[in-house]
Structure 1
Amino acid sequence: MAVNFKKSYKFAFKSSLYITIFFVFVLLLYHFLEQPFGYFAVVPLAILLFVFSFFVIQYRVERFIYKRVKKIYDDVSLLENTTFRNQPITTDMATLTQEVKKFARDKKLEIETLKIREEYRREFLGNVSHELKTPLFTVQGYLLTLLDGAMDDKNIRKKYLQRAEKGVERLIYIVKDLDMITKLETGDINIERSEFNVVELIQNVFDLLEMRAAKKDITLTFDVKYKHAIKVSGDQEKIQQVITNLVMNSIKYGKQGGTTEVSIEDLVNNKVIIRVTDNGEGIENSHIPRLFERFYRVDKSGARSEGGSGLGLAIVKHIIESHEEKIYVESQFGVGSEFSFTLEKAK
């Protein structure tokens, strides 16, 4: 019957067997020459030598390997990998090799993730700096001009103060959005669910943004005339912000004389999907995976001229996910874009 020893045990077993055979040969040779022992004394002596040799060799090999393996464990433990550190120290080379390879793969993945996060952090800080710098310099420029003597002219003073006020409003807008997205990401904002008519809510958003859309001659419309209320469950105020942000984006990137259309469709599992579709400039495929990142802009120059905090889509994503719903985007460059999200229907 084959016995599945560890590799180190096989080494000790074979070594002990060789030593035993050698000693038995020596004892037999000595017996034939000197005859101090009987034949029956050879077998116990052989067993005793075999057991003694086995444990001695096994102990020495274990200690030899253990010291070197323990050093490997101690070295990798300095990297603060608690999973590896809590593993029992093994002297089996195959097991050790597998553990070290797995450790190396995990560390490589961790390092790559940290590099991505570091790149994202640098980009995020650069974007925050850029977003805050523009209105700050604007306010500073107007105030310095007034302090240099323009304050004596009432017309210029009023005009510059009004422009400085707009810069301050932009700063407040950015800070409020930053505060909101931070709370959303940390879970500090609670979702207060209620039942409401989403058709009426969308119409309210249309009314709020009607003048902004009129500046670019963009029509805000439903896909069909909804004669009956469609009740959904969710945080009404936050869902209104989602639709407002999506419609504002469609206006911002829409073409002159274009259209922004909102549709509401039934889905399975007691869900509805709300689609915001425009026939604007569209988005290239390379930008779509990063659309919901904070401060990420497709058009680095034109987008800032349109205003906004650059946090709109990031806030939309977090609000929808906090409702445990999904948001989708489809776009064809030069044709238009469609943002859609799901909501639970009221029971």
Structure 2
Amino acid sequence: MQTKFKKSYRFAIKTSLYITLFITLLMSVFLYGYYTINVLVILIFAICCYFFSFLVIQYRVERFIYKRVKKIYDDLTLLESTSLTKGPITTDMNTLTQEIDKFARNKKLQIETLKVREKYRKEFFGNVSHELKTPLFTVQGYILTLLEGAMNDEKLREKYLERASKGVERLSYIVKDLDMITKLEVGDLSLNIETFDIVELIKSVFDMLEMKAHKKRITLTFDTNYRNPILVNADKERIQQVIVNLIVNSIKYGQERGTTEVSIENLIKNKVIVRVTDNGEGIAKAHISRLFERFYRVDKSGSRKEGGSGLGLSIVKHIIEAHDEKIYVESEFDVGSEFSFTLEKAK
């Protein structure tokens, strides 16, 4: 399909006017010196000169610029340019310059975005490799030790098999969580939306995690006594997973004898916001923007003593976004953190 051509007459109009004025003035001086000046003749000559100059300049400049501009457009087309290939070609240099500048800025932004994504991609694959390698080598080590003769010792055999089983379980968690995130991202994981009491759900999570919190002497509590139910519309199982992940994190990084507090507030007419607040380690500002990335860890030492797949917050984010809701985080290092998310209030 041939590119449409948008004509610009500004250059030809101005240039023709300058040429006409100059030649007319020159002719007037010539006639004044040798002949009698006839105003009508001068006027006709000026008009003829103007139109002739306009046609010649417009045609020649148009062809001259068009060939070069079209080459620029064709080259940009190969680069899958944006607006430059959608509109007609123009011979106006100001317009062309603006479009080229806009194209260059867009491409620069795209390149910078790709560089950031490439950096995250490398970090992600490095993290995946590390997360899978640790339990895999653990399982492999115990099995090889057993095969080399340790299986003859009944106590040692049971001990090593239990540890290998934990390694396999960890691998299973990672694969299962990665599969869930992938399904959430592509929309293959359907949500079972129902109406339920969010207060009762949080109480059940408190009961579930009571022993884990007791080990660090952390108190799980509400900010107030919720006597009346607060009904929301969401996938109950997935929201329970969100709350479990957030509270487990608050216990994991909380201070001994600390507190994890949950509050539920009306945000707007049809929304509630659930806040999970702790007085634990807190998170430095440099890490907050990347908290929800897969396998991203604030602790760069790579310690895995707390367990987990390293995908908890990423799953939380995807579940909340699958509900078309928002999740927020506020934290101050050595003070504590607050994770909050919105839910649709039942009518």
**TM-score, with length taken from structure 1:** 0.89
Counterpart of 1:60, as a letter, is R
Secondary structure of 2:285's counterpart equals: coil
Partner of 2:4: none
Instruction: For residue 271 of structure 1, report the CA deviation from its aligned partner.
Output: 2.0
Partner of 2:19: 15
- Contact 1:12–1:58 (8 Å) recurs in 2: no
Question: Superposition RMSD on alpha carbons, in Å?
Answer: 2.6
Instruction: For residue 300 of structure 1, report the CA deviation from its aligned partner.
Output: 2.4
Partner of 1:142: 142
Q: Are 2:315 and 1:315 equivalent residues in the alignment?
A: yes
**Cα deviation per residue 1:197-242 (whole Å; 9 max; x = unaligned)?**
1111111111222222222222222222322222111111110010
CA spacing shift, 1:39–1:314, aligned 2, 3 Å: closer
**TM-score, with length taken from structure 2:** 0.89
For 1:229 and 1:50, how far apart are their aligned partners in 2?
86
Instruction: For residue 72 of structure 1, report the CA deviation from its aligned partner.
Output: 2.0
Secondary structure of 1:264's counterpart equals: strand
- Contact 2:12–2:54 (8 Å) recurs in 1: no
Instruction: For residue 322 of structure 1, report the CA deviation from its aligned partner.
Output: 1.9
- Contact 1:279–1:336 (8 Å) recurs in 2: yes
Q: Are 2:96 and 1:81 equivalent residues in the alignment?
A: no
Counterpart of 1:199, as a letter, is V
For 1:204 and 1:25, how far apart are their aligned partners in 2?
103
Identity between Structure 1 and Structure 2 (%): 68
Q: Are 2:275 and 1:271 equivalent residues in the alignment?
A: no
Partner of 2:238: 238
Map 1:16-55; keep pairs closer than 5 Å.
Answer: 16=20, 18=22, 47-55=47-55
Secondary structure of 1:226's counterpart equals: coil
- Contact 1:220–1:260 (8 Å) recurs in 2: yes
Counterpart of 1:150, as a letter, is A
Partner of 1:197: 197
Counterpart of 1:186, as a letter, is V
- Contact 2:219–2:257 (8 Å) recurs in 1: yes
Instruction: For residue 325 of structure 1, report the CA deviation from its aligned partner.
Output: 1.8
CA spacing shift, 1:50–1:139, aligned 2, 3 Å: same
Partner of 2:178: 178
For 2:346 and 2:47, how far apart are their aligned partners in 1?
83
Q: Are 2:57 and 1:57 equivalent residues in the alignment?
A: yes
Partner of 1:103: 103
For 2:29 and 2:224, how far apart are their aligned partners in 1?
102
Q: Are 2:289 and 1:285 equivalent residues in the alignment?
A: no
Instruction: For residue 44 of structure 1, report the CA deviation from its aligned partner.
Output: 6.1
For 1:42 and 1:243, how far apart are their aligned partners in 2?
91
Instruction: For residue 176 of structure 1, report the CA deviation from its aligned partner.
Output: 0.9
Partner of 2:3: none
Counterpart of 1:88, as a letter, is P
For 1:54 and 1:300, how far apart are their aligned partners in 2?
71
Counterpart of 1:103, as a letter, is F
CA spacing shift, 1:18–1:171, aligned 2, 3 Å: same
Q: Which moved more, 1:275-284 or 1:168-177?
A: 275-284
Secondary structure of 1:220's counterpart equals: strand
For 1:228 and 1:343, how far apart are their aligned partners in 2?
17
- Contact 1:16–1:54 (8 Å) recurs in 2: no
For 1:40 and 1:258, how far apart are their aligned partners in 2?
101
- Contact 1:143–1:164 (8 Å) recurs in 2: yes
CA spacing shift, 1:25–1:280, aligned 2, 3 Å: same
Counterpart of 1:10, as a letter, is K
Give the gaps of 5 or more residues in structure 1. Answer: 33-37
Counterpart of 1:331, as a letter, is S
Secondary structure of 1:287's counterpart equals: helix
For 2:144 and 2:220, how far apart are their aligned partners in 1?
42
Secondary structure of 1:190's counterpart equals: coil
For 2:225 and 2:70, how far apart are their aligned partners in 1?
74
- Contact 1:19–1:53 (8 Å) recurs in 2: no
Q: Which moved more, 1:237-246 or 1:84-93?
A: 84-93
Instruction: For residue 168 of structure 1, report the CA deviation from its aligned partner.
Output: 0.7
- Contact 2:220–2:261 (8 Å) recurs in 1: yes
**Cα deviation per residue 1:65-105 (whole Å; 9 max; x = unaligned)?**
22222222223222211421223111111111111111111
Partner of 1:256: 256
Counterpart of 1:118, as a letter, is E
Q: Which moved more, 1:41-50 or 1:112-121?
A: 41-50
For 1:156 and 1:240, how far apart are their aligned partners in 2?
39
- Contact 1:19–1:50 (8 Å) recurs in 2: no
Instruction: For residue 106 of structure 1, report the CA deviation from its aligned partner.
Output: 1.0
Counterpart of 1:6, as a letter, is R
Partner of 1:35: none
For 1:277 and 1:10, how far apart are their aligned partners in 2?
70
Instruction: For residue 312 of structure 1, report the CA deviation from its aligned partner.
Output: 0.8
For 1:98 and 1:185, how far apart are their aligned partners in 2?
38
CA spacing shift, 1:70–1:23, aligned 2, 3 Å: farther
Map 1:327-346; keep pairs closer than 5 Å.
Answer: 327-346=327-346
Counterpart of 2:340, as a letter, is S
